[in-house]
Amino acid sequence: MRDHPEFILVDIPELKKPSTTIPFSKAKIDWSKTKAWGDGGYYARIFLNVAGREPEGTISKNDYEKVRDELIAGLKSIPDENGRPIGTMVFVQRNFTSTCAECA
């Protein structure tokens, strides 16, 4: 999945922010320090860099839910410019997975 995203946006205070978006294929990413990344779409999909699933995964399967829950809490706590909650909603993929054989 991470080979196909269109853009990467950097929001790390100690790094100089680019003046424009960078095509993902041209971004220099240190996957050994990456816990999550976004992959296109208008609904902001976010993926965790899981060891054993991703080529340079950093999150053990045992830590997956903990890291996911921390990320969800962080996303939900993002305020507007006045410090008020913006009502961010997070949907976990398992919420949309069906066991219905006809749905596959």
Structural domain contains residue 1 = no
The pLDDT tens digits for 89-100 are: 888 876 444 444
Structural domain contains residue 2 = no
Structural domain contains residue 49 = yes
Structural domain contains residue 87 = yes
Number of domains in the chain: 1
Structural domain contains residue 12 = yes
Structural domain contains residue 29 = yes
Model confidence, pTM: 0.66
The pLDDT tens digits for 58-76 are: 999 999 999 999 999 999 9
Cα dist from 88 to 50, 62, 69, 76, whole Å: 24, 27, 14, 5
- What's the domain range around 21? 7-103
Residue spans of the chain under pLDDT 50: 1-12, 95-104
Structural domain contains residue 68 = yes
Structural domain contains residue 65 = yes
